[in-house]
Amino acid sequence: MPITELLEKNTRDYPNDICLVEINPEVKENRRVTWKEYELMEPNPTTHYRREITWHVMNEKANRFANLLLSRGIKKGDKVAILLMNCLEWLPIYFGILKTGALAVPLNFRYASDEIEYCINLAEADVLVFGPEFIGRVEEIADSIIKNRLLYYVGDNCPTFAEDYITLTANCSSLSPDITLTDEDDAAIYFSSGTTGFPKAILHNHESLMHSCKAEQNHHGQTKEDVFLCIPPLYHTGAKMHWFGSLLSGSKAVLLKGTKPEYILEAVSKEKCTIVWLLVPWAQDILEAIESDRIHLSDYDLAGWRLMHIGAQPVPPSLIKKWKGYFPNHQYDTNYGLSESIGPGCVHLGVENIHKVGAIGKAGYGWEVKIVDEQGETVKKGEVGELCVKGPGVMTCYYHDEKATNEILKDNWLFTGDMAQEDEDGFIFLVDRKKDVIISGGENIYPVQIEDFIRTHSAVHDVAVIGVPDKRLGEITAAIIEVKENHILTEEDINQLCQKLPRYKRPRKVIFADIPRNPTGKIEKPKLRELYAGGSVVNAQNHG
């Protein structure tokens, strides 16, 4: 069943129920604004603290955009790129694209102009929908991308090189277009993180999207009464596929524009959120705010918050143990996934397996997993190999890149590039990215294991371990450490802590610096290698 049918079903079953809320904590005005009220005001979403939309209105908006696209010649198989920050318009635009039979092509909001142009050309996008935050970047490339393309602007003061989305859609039919869709039809192109150069275009069909809905609800049991707090960017498969659980259950979700601990807890409190998906840095920030007495949990109504799940990167067990100390009644879960497997869920821990903190879990709903060696043979339990997954959510291909597709897809198995091992109970533990493994003197060293250990120090805010060149050993380990605010940490402190590690795992260099992370919370190790692995590094002695 195409995913657009879920929106139609919710519109029939719950037409007047709120489906989405957008909260902008940077705006002090604390009042509710419906979409209808909003249209009578200025169309700049940054001017209101809170906006909301019903299932009926969301479907109506999706239909209006679909009919606009169809009237402009967009047809089944065409592509429409989305370059928006999280906002109430995002998902109606996404579903409007799908309703035409075209492919939605979400773009990373951090892309520079050349990356935007590259991705638009790679995906062969016929339309670009963009918001006010991107006027400058789009204007830089407008002359080169506007040929045979439509540019629609979502916001106030439409630039001259684009057309006004709000004005145009207001004059379009709100009836659903008569377009037949099947599970096999292409639905969306997502982009890889691009950590090794320009990103790859990942093609998914409607079956992939629907399976992510089913897996998410199976894993987290969303009901109509749940309220999901969505903070990560919607362009990424992680945020959207978690929201698909809300879509399948017809429940409300809250889009929060801001990641400060106060913002998160206030949103949970005021909107009665029951499920919150956090990235590791945000969870760490909440814990540090509690520990420093900057926030007090008693100031918030958090009684309904039942599930904290976390993902997008290896989760330090020490973080979860500390979290359970402050939130003992929370269910905890983690999902593993990648954009090539339609985001989170191909490996899943399960709320009943809190005793396995540190593991990413077992095969998710509808998925198969295996761990293989360099020859593609399944390894024994306890041995490290490459994690492979298979299921209905595996990508169709890398768009227009047969060579890269064949490298990662073999006999319908997706080779993830992540190194993992399975314990005696069948739980999978992520060891590291294949490309991040450090080979020092012939010994394989997995940075995640060292990072998890160093994070146990009370003054460590974040840490990344990389390999740096060494004439004798080939590589040695370097630990880049971000120290908590108002704390002091020295190289001697770290060396003393790491005495508990096997000698070959102890960092040979200690660097105190900020840890760069991308919008989905993953450490940007290529940046760190560029900064610190190209030459000699001077070790800082303290940070406060």
pLDDT at res. 517: 81
- Whether 418 has a pLDDT exceeding 60, the answer reads yes
Beta bridge partners of 256: 23
pLDDT at res. 296: 95
What CA–CA distances, in Å, run from 246 to 214, 251, 316, 427, 432? 11, 5, 27, 27, 31
Within-domain flag for 528: yes
Within-domain flag for 425: no
Percent of the chain with pLDDT over 70: 90
Instruction: Choose one of 171, 191, 220: the last residue of a domain.
Output: 220
Within-domain flag for 337: no
Tell me whether residue 121 is exposed, middle or buried, using C-beta atoms within 10 angstroms of its C-beta: 0 to 12, 13 to 18, 19 or more. Answer: exposed
- Whether 538 has a pLDDT exceeding 50, the answer reads no
The model's pLDDT over 142-159, given as tens digits with 9 standing for 90+, comes to 998 888 899 999 999 999
Give one DSSP letter per residue of 382-428, joined into a string: T--EEEEEESTTS-SEETT-HHHHHHHEETTEEEEEEEEEE-TTS-E
- How far is C-alpha 418 from the geometric centre of its chain's CA atoms? 17
The model's pLDDT over 24-80, given as tens digits with 9 standing for 90+, comes to 987 755 444 444 444 444 444 444 589 999 999 999 999 999 999 999 999 999 999
CA 120 to CA 106: how far, in whole Å? 10
- Could you list the residue range(s) of the whole structural domain that residue 453 is in? 437-532
Q: How is residue 128 written in tokens?
A: 């670009």
The model's pLDDT over 366-376, given as tens digits with 9 standing for 90+, comes to 999 999 998 89
Average confidence (pLDDT) over 345-358: 88
Within-domain flag for 364: no
Instruction: Choose one of 220, 252, 279: the last residue of a domain.
Output: 220
pLDDT at res. 436: 76
Within-domain flag for 372: no
CATH number at residue 453: 3.30.300.30
Encoded amino acid at 156, one letter: D
Within-domain flag for 46: yes
Among 20-24, 455-459, 494-498, 523-527, the least confident range = 523-527
CATH number at residue 112: 3.40.50.12780
Instruction: Choose one of 220, 239, 259: the last residue of a domain.
Output: 220
Within-domain flag for 402: no
pLDDT at res. 10: 97
The residue with greater pLDDT, 275 or 320, is 275
Nearest to 450 by CA among 463, 468, 436: 463
Within-domain flag for 347: no
Global confidence as pTM:
0.81
pLDDT at res. 524: 81
pLDDT at res. 469: 84
pLDDT at res. 43: 42
**How many domains does the structure of the chain reveal?**
2
